[in-house]
Structures are given as structure tokens and as C-alpha cells.
Structure 1
């Protein structure tokens, strides 16, 4: 099988079984009535007296998010900028996955090459991530999914969109449920798949709405909230690239770095996807990738096999090889982890189960009436690929390390993960940063 090397994105439709995650982008339009405000020289109360509605008050980082007229805000003398939005475009098909017999109790585990290569069952002999907490800032986590019902803390979960649907459900799409399953899918229900840290607690911080967009301000509020409630890790499988450094402006950079630094100081390690643009973040000139190039963010690139359980002569590429779509850069990426890869020629022909090279985990497809009423969700399992799938592998590893060594701070946990990672033979740090994630070695390092 000849593999295509052209770095393009595969959009899946029709009868195909998987999806390749497409990069999020910042929309060109800025909000005309929603603003981020620097409150270092004032207070949110003063904003309210200016006929502005405070949506998020974040005193820990001297930030408020308000709605109202820009003229009222201009009169307040605060430094501010319009809110911006991100869009998430991820294809997925709802074809069912057939269970297979397993040496473990989870029938789909044989298809989880991502857990095989990380030695997850061996790690679970020491810890399953008990006593830890991971926030998923995403489209919403389906608390009702049979493989996640044990993990989602619905009391702590929050909806940051204000769209009225609430939290604990896949109201913005399947993506957050897939991410959460990679972290914490149950290993004790003898059904479905297994997560890296099934003993951890998941907090759903929903920032994407049914319309498919998320605001920068809501993401900052979710990050602050995650630190407030002492999450050990917050996973943000969200990215925007390319964003002009000049267009970004000093205000947005200041807000982002102030927020990520606060979370880090509170002990919350921010794990982010490096992005799916096949871009060299090390040498991309006057543009930036967000939020993975923010201060204190642990950026994760993606790897994956070609030919897992379908190659005629075995694997063409191993599970540690860089995925064709992943962003890279020696000093821009911190770790690599399983995110899935695709043989584009095989996928186009659709004569072999090429999607086995993607990452299999939980999905929940929301259903809405014509007038927007939420009708429920269809719970299932599916294959998806992207750095969105690589980041939660690392977030799960954070939970494993913190479970064994709860006194470590965020920087120390990151250091453990980086020093126990290694760059595969035949490659250099360009795609890996410190190396390929090794949760078993990380746990053994801190035992």
C-alpha cells in the first residue's frame, strides 16, 4: 500500500467509519456587544454600574467578561477588547463498532492500539488515577454514556456558553465525550473501551454550543474555574492557527498568558492539542498557534500507526510515528502522544479497515428538535484522529502521576512526563519535543 504524503485533511462522509479532526479557526468577526475587560484598575462592580452585564467575573486574573454597548465600556476607562470565537469542524459517522473478545474485561480493548503502546493495563496495576480531577474544556461530556457515568462530576460541571442546555451532556457535539473517554472510560463495566485513568474524576466545562462555536472569553473563564476547583489537569483539545501575532495584539496575549500562568500556579497543568495543520510552529514567522503557544501550556503533537490489524505485511508505520496532519516544532511541542494516523489512499479506496489506525473511544451524538429542544443522545463508540485525541492521553497520564505523587505541583508533573518520554529511533525532536509519552515510566519514576 503506497501512502500519500500530501499533507491535506481527509473529511469523512457517507459509509466511512471514522473522522479526522480538522483544525479550529478563529472567525474573522469580532463581537460587537461582548468584551473582555482588564479590571486591574477597577472592579467588576464598577462595570455593572456602567449598564454593562458581567457574564464572567474572574478576579484571580483581573479579568471580566461583559455584554453591552461599546460606548458604555469606553466611558468606563477600562482597557478592553472584543471577544472572538472559535469554530470546531469535526466529521464523524455513526456506524456501530463491533465488539471483539479481549484479554481484558473491556471488549473493545483489542482495537485500542493507543492504550497498548502506552502499557495502560500495566500502569493500572499501580494506579488508575484515583483521587485526581481532570477538566474537559470542550463541546460537553455525556455523563450518561455507560463508559463515563462513573467518572463525570455533574455537580462541579459547568456550562460557560449561556445557551441554556447546561452541562453533563454532549450539547455541542460528540467531540468532548470522545476526549473524556480517552482520559477516563471505565475499565470495570465489561463493556466498550478503557481510558488511561478510569479512576479520575471528570469535570465537564462546556464552551462549545449547538451552533458550533466557542468564545475566547468563555474558554478563559473555564480555565480559571478549573483552577478554582483544584483540577490536576485541564484538557483543551482546541486550537486556532494561523493567528497573526500583530492581529492578536498585546491585549489578547496578556489575557491568555495571565490566565494560563494563574492556573499553573494553582497546580492545574494545562494540556493542549498542538493543532492539525501540518505546520512548523518553530519557523512560522509572524503567526501564532493558540492556545498551545501560551505560557505554561503543555503542547501535544500526534502519532499513529499505518496498518494496525489490516496491513498485509504488518504495520507500515508504527504507533509512535508522527501523524501526517500534526503540527510540529522542537521548541513548540512538548510531548507526542497517540492521536491516530491515516493512509489516505486506503481511506479513499475504502477496501480495508483503515480507520483502525484512528483512536477508538466513546461518542455521544446529540439530537435536537427543529426548534432547538434537546431530545437526548445516542451513545456509541467511534474512531477519530487528531491532536485533539493526543492531548487527553497526556491529561490522563497527569492523573496517573498525581494519584501516586499528590504533592507534586504542575511544573513537577510536567517535568516527570518529559524526562520519562523518549524520541523513537529514526526520528528527532522536531515532532516530539521531549519525546513520546510513557505513562508507565512516569508512574514508576515517582513511586
Structure 2
């Protein structure tokens, strides 16, 4: 398969590491996704049994898989090779909220006067989360967190992307240290789908989505994806398997918030290819915005936080909502500031990244806030939360709908409408 440009850990697998990078997607020769509930062949190992969506992920020979007499496709392994310029910041002794233009634009401290996300649950389907981080150790539900890869490890971060995403959602706002998350009182669940070699399987991502629904998560954040992926051949099978899985999650009350991608592509006009999972059924697809010339000391900027950015994917009917992801073409302070693992090697466990990978968790956190304030039935919850987010969002004056879907997220209006 051809090499692809990712999103920001978004490639058929993830939205790239929020910077430009390449991701190679390779069809497995010994691992398959099968449209079946049982595999009664001794030479097939069942890796994931996804009974609710009538799918199996198995390991074995294609000859044995064919004997099941069911539709199947090779599982896809993706590996990313991010071109990341992580830079330490020298503000560890200063109030880090001043660096969070994204939270300032969303009026998060004011929102927390209404709710901090109490009673909600968000899964982070990603590279894992550092549960020892001082801004995250209050939030991680270790009992529900899980590693879906075959590498034998646990749910903790094998990179840094998942921890950065988690901080955007749930960083502690009451420990007088670090940064502020959108929903710091949410129950945060780490579902690791990348192994220690930076590989992820499509089947593991499907399993993590099913797990999110089965544990009753209100929101699942997927800052990952692949683009472009053909709608033909095996692509059709992958699309149907994804749609079935995402529809199951939606019906069980789990809103799926997905990074839109960092390819600068018009998804509306790409008829023969698809972005997965952002264009899957029931996905709430998020584009990225960012300021230019943000000054942490004054809070001033040359261009506002709701400005569309050059790398974000767009498309009138492809994007559902826009949120802060960071401006690649600005200074480092125009990127999104959040947590990274404490053992990453920096003197500080905070840094800047950009991408639709950073925009999606802004929306996931907002969805958790809404979940904490509403009492939808299970079958209407995901659609109810999405509807409220869209109804309260607005397209800024002078900008085109194709970059925003329903508009730029307005968290304060959303929680005030609950």
C-alpha cells in the first residue's frame, strides 16, 4: 500500500503526532478481520471477538480463513514516522494557564463554575496515557484502561501523543500546578492501540471502540485516522466494518469524536477515496483552528483562535465542528500546550503540539461536560450531545462553512443550554 501523510497522529491508523509525518499502511499476511462470530478452525487464533458487531480479528493462514466461508479482509498495520520538533518551554515556574489560548478562547474557567465533568467517562484511543503524570493521576481509571496491542504491555503511553491528548481533556485544574483540562472531573480511560514499535492495527481500533461502548463511556476520542483510503476493494470491507462498529457505539450512548486529518484536503470532493475513521458512520469529525501571534503575557494575538489553519482537512459536509488545534504557520506559542509523559526526557512534562489530534479532545472534553449535566436515554445520548454541540457552535463572520461544519465550538453556550 502507498505511503500516506497523516493527520497529527492520524494515518489508518492515527492522526499523526500532530505534526507533519508519514505513515505506511501494510496489509497483514497472518492477521485478518472476518465478518463472523465464530472461528471453528484449530489453526486460527481469535485475537478479538467483537460479538456485538459480528466481527472477529483472527491470526492464522488465509487458507484457514477462507474455510470459514465468510467475508474477510487482511488486517492493516500502520506505523508512523513523525517529523516532530518537540521543544522545551521555560515557564515551569509561571502560571501555565497563560499559555493555554485554547482554553481561554473556550472560557473554560467560567464553564467550570457550571460543571467540571463529574460523573462522565471518556476513553482515549491512542498511544496510551501516563497515569503517573501529576496533572492526570487524579483522572485515570486504571481498572477500565486496557492495552489492545499484542506487545504484552499495559495501557500506559509508549509515545507521548496519548498523554498530550489526555491533558487537553482532563488535566487537573485544582492541583495548583501545570495546566487546565476541559473536563478535569471526568473518568478518563486509556485504550492503547499503538504498540511500542509505533504500529497500530485496524482491528485493535475496532476492538477499542466496542470496548468503549461496553464500559458505558459517554465519549471516545480518536485522534487518529488514515487518508486517503480507497473506497474500492478491501476499502469497502473496512468501511462497512467501521460503520457497523461505530453505529453500535452510537446506539449504546458513546459519542465518537474523531480528528478530521492534517492533509489540507477537501474531503467533500474526494469521491474515490475516504478518510477513516473521520468519515465513518456516526463520527463527529473535527477540524482545527488556531491563532497567529499569540502573546501569553498579554493574551493578545494577530489572528484569533477560531482562524482556520492551513493543514486541516475540510469539506462542507465532511466536517461537523471546528475546535482549537494550533497554527502550524505561527510561532510555537500558537500551538496547543499540554501534558507529555514524565519520563519522556524533558525537564518539564509539558510541551506544545499542533494538529486535528489536538482539536478533537477539545470537543471530547466539551462532550463530557454536557454528559455530566444531561440525562439522555442510552440510545439518544450520543446524538443528543452532538446535537447540542452543533446547535451552540457558530461560523465566525467572514469565514467559510467548509472549514467549520456547524461552526467553532462554544463550550459555555453548550453547557448553559443543558
Same fold per TM (> 0.5)?
A: yes
1:95 to 79, 82, 88: 88
Alignment of 1:116-195 (within 5 A): 116-167=104-155, 169-171=156-158, 173-195=159-181
Distance 2:86 2:342 in 1: 10
Residue in 2 aligned with 1:111?
99
TM-score by length of 1: 0.86
- What RMSD, in angstroms, separates the aligned Cα atoms of the two structures? 2.3
The alpha-carbon distance between structure 1 residues 118 and 251, as it changes in their structure 2 partners (threshold 3 A), is: same
Q: CA deviation at 1:23?
A: 6.1
Contact kept, 8 Å, 1:100 with 1:110, in 2: the verdict is: no
1:68 counterpart = 2:55 = no
1:22-63 CA distances to partner (integer Å, 9 max, x unpaired)?
366451x21000000111xxx32xx14342110000100000
Q: Where do 5+ consecutive residues of structure 2 fail to align?
A: 9-16
Contact kept, 8 Å, 1:307 with 1:316, in 2: the verdict is: yes
Residue in 2 aligned with 1:364?
341
Residue in 2 aligned with 1:33?
30
1:211 counterpart = 2:197 = yes
Distance 1:8 1:312 in 2: 34
1:176-220 CA distances to partner (integer Å, 9 max, x unpaired)?
000000000000111100100000011000001111110000000
- Name the stretch that deviates more: 86-95 or 435-444: 86-95
- Indicate the SS of the match to 1:318: coil
Distance 1:78 1:310 in 2: 57
Contact kept, 8 Å, 1:274 with 1:387, in 2: the verdict is: yes
Distance 2:279 2:55 in 1: 20
Residue in 1 aligned with 2:414?
442
Residue in 1 aligned with 2:46?
54
1:108-127 CA distances to partner (integer Å, 9 max, x unpaired)?
00110000000100110010
Contact kept, 8 Å, 1:25 with 1:241, in 2: the verdict is: no
Q: CA deviation at 1:401?
A: 0.3
1:336 counterpart = 2:322 = yes
Distance 1:78 1:236 in 2: 29
Alignment of 1:364-403 (within 5 A): 364=341, 380-403=349-372
- Indicate the SS of the match to 2:341: strand
The alpha-carbon distance between structure 1 residues 312 and 132, as it changes in their structure 2 partners (threshold 3 A), is: closer
1:227 to 206, 213, 223: 213
Q: CA deviation at 1:249?
A: 3.1
**Structure of higher CA gyration radius:** 1
Q: How many residues align?
A: 402
Distance 1:243 1:114 in 2: 31
